[in-house]
Amino acid sequence: MPNQNTDAVFQLIKTLTRSEKRHFRLYNSHHGAKEELKFLQLFDVLENQEKYNEQEILNKIPVIKKVQLANIKANLYKHLLSSLRQYHANQNVDIQLHEQLDQARVLYNKGLYGQSLKLYEKIKIAARNAELPHIALAAIHYEKLIESQYITRSIEGKAEALSLESMHLATHLSKVHELSNLSLRLYGHYIKMGHAKNQEDFDFIRNFFETNLPSLDIKEASFFEKLYYYQIHVWYYYITQDFKACYRFAQKWVDLFEGNSDQIYQQPMLYIKGLHNLLASLYNLLYYSKFKSVLQKLEAFAADSTRRSTPNIEMLLFLHIYTNKINIFFLEGTFTEGVKIIPEILAGLKQYQPQLDPHRLLVFYFKIASLYFGSGNFQKCIEYLNKIIDYSHLNLRSDLQGFARILSLIAHYEAGDDEALDYQIKSVYRFLGKMNDQQPMQVEIFRFLRSLNSMAPNQLKDAFVALKNKLIAIAANPFERRPFLYLDIISWLESKIEHVPVQEIMQRKFKAMK
């Protein structure tokens, strides 16, 4: 039986806002025949279902037979999309221009070439102003078609002008695709492998970057050429852990939008993503004051009543605002305060579950676990780490999987659960061996925890000090710094040495940093 996760019609209906539902009913109010009303009846039933239930549909709408249901659902899906297209047209220039392309084509088919050309010219200008070269090229295609069939006597040299214009647009569009392809491939590499962990990783990604980076005259580049060029550099420097360079290009990304304010409202998701990447860079640089001001800018954008609102935009705002709110607690060391917002986060994760991919969900679980760990609630920490550890697709963020297991080991030790700790040690040993991803920081912590059972109580402090000194030496290696941003293990060791809560150590460091 189809369920909430697999039935496309049900899933689409569950994303509709109240105003979108009202528009759908008004949009289809002209339907009157019984056959035409069936899809409206189906809409009403699906809207009220918590989970997709085919038998309930058939019971509530007896006029729909089981063999008819698939066709009626397909009809409902078509009407929903048509309604949504009309509803959102005013907020999407590309939807409006595609509709005008259709209208111009109708005029062309009617043989009204003069009217068609005027409309194509209007579309072309609007598309270029909106940085939509693919739509401008479509308009030029039909302009050329008409000019080759119909003697317009409009402008001398029109054919040559159209040819040059189309080649210019095609060149820019090709460059946009080259840049966006490389950006996507770099992002894919990060999702799979995380950051460069050694010289071999660094050499690979640097060679990949330098080999595939297209040349670009930034002064002549279009908005999207600049955007993807900056985006590529953000990903490259983030993967290679050059956070200062990453910050510079993330700032260029945000500045590009703020210098082209229309694009903020036409491409809000890319603007939001730029602000988030800027925040990620600032967090990695521990630049607290700037971090807070950029987060306030993101929250102000979320509160702007004039901006576009779609489920996808609202999901991204939730995702990036709460990710960075958690990061504020990490910077300040105020974990107990941070735990208070976990119910809000869990409510948002439930609300936006259809739009969230597994990677983002796992990152949230790790951050929630870290908040619980810092506040001293080790059982809740373990609960959320298990959600990561139990995730079956190990090719997704193997580094996150590894750090979840290491933090789980430490949490089991803190919880005093010796029996579970023995099992966890064996489990982590198998995992790290299977992944061939034994980073020095992980190995040292693993060895330390494995040796605890053989230590006398009076030996523990010296052991903590020895481990801290080893980890400080490891952190001096540029490739080994990133793990310490996942786990501030140095602060934990200092808390054990001084016999104070870990958040007290981190709050002290935060005050010294300001």
- Please state, rounded to an integer, the average pLDDT across all residues of the chain: 87
d(CA 318, CA 393): 25
Q: For residue 152, what pLDDT is reported?
A: 55
Cβ contacts of 184 within 8 Å, gap of 6 or more: none
Contact 139, 127 (CB under 8 A): yes
Coil vs helix vs strand at 377: coil
Residue 196's pLDDT band (cuts 50, 70, 90)? confident
Q: Which is nearest to 369 in space by CA: 412, 332, 398?
A: 412
Cβ contacts of 121 within 8 Å, gap of 6 or more: 139, 143
Q: How many CB atoms lie within 10 A of CB 492?
A: 21
Q: Which is nearest to 120 in space by CA: 106, 110, 331, 228?
A: 106
Residue 44's pLDDT band (cuts 50, 70, 90)? very high
Q: Which is nearest to 100 in space by CA: 120, 129, 84, 78?
A: 120
Coil vs helix vs strand at 354: coil
Cβ contacts of 131 within 8 Å, gap of 6 or more: 222, 223, 224, 263
Return the ∠ at Cα 433 (arms to 428 and 434), rounded to 5°. Answer: 100
Q: Which is nearest to 123 in space by CA: 96, 159, 147?
A: 96
Residue 301's pLDDT band (cuts 50, 70, 90)? very high
Report for 248-257, 430-439, 455-464: range of highest mean pLDDT: 248-257
d(CA 355, CA 74): 22
Range in 192-196, 463-467, 504-508 the model is least confident about: 192-196
Q: What is the CA radius of gyration of the chain?
A: 28
Domain chopping of the chain, boundaries? 8-90, 92-154, 164-241
pLDDT by residue (tens digit) across 407-458?
888 888 888 876 777 777 777 777 766 665 567 887 888 788 778 777 777 7
Contact 235, 186 (CB under 8 A): yes
Torsional class of 155: left (φ above 0), alpha (ψ -120 to 50), beta (otherwise):
beta
Torsional class of 196: left (φ above 0), alpha (ψ -120 to 50), beta (otherwise):
beta
Rounded percentage of the chain residues whose pLDDT exceeds 70: 92
DSSP per-residue codes, 257-314: HHTSHHHHHHSHHHHHHHHHHHHHHHHHTT-HHHHHHHHHHHHHHHH-TTS---HHHH
Work out the average pLDDT over 496-500.
87
Cβ contacts of 304 within 8 Å, gap of 6 or more: none
Q: For residue 393, what pLDDT is reported?
A: 64
d(CA 172, CA 159): 20
Q: For residue 195, what pLDDT is reported?
A: 82
Q: Which is nearest to 309 in space by CA: 19, 59, 83, 79?
A: 19
Contact 415, 382 (CB under 8 A): yes
Q: How many CB atoms lie within 10 A of CB 68?
A: 15
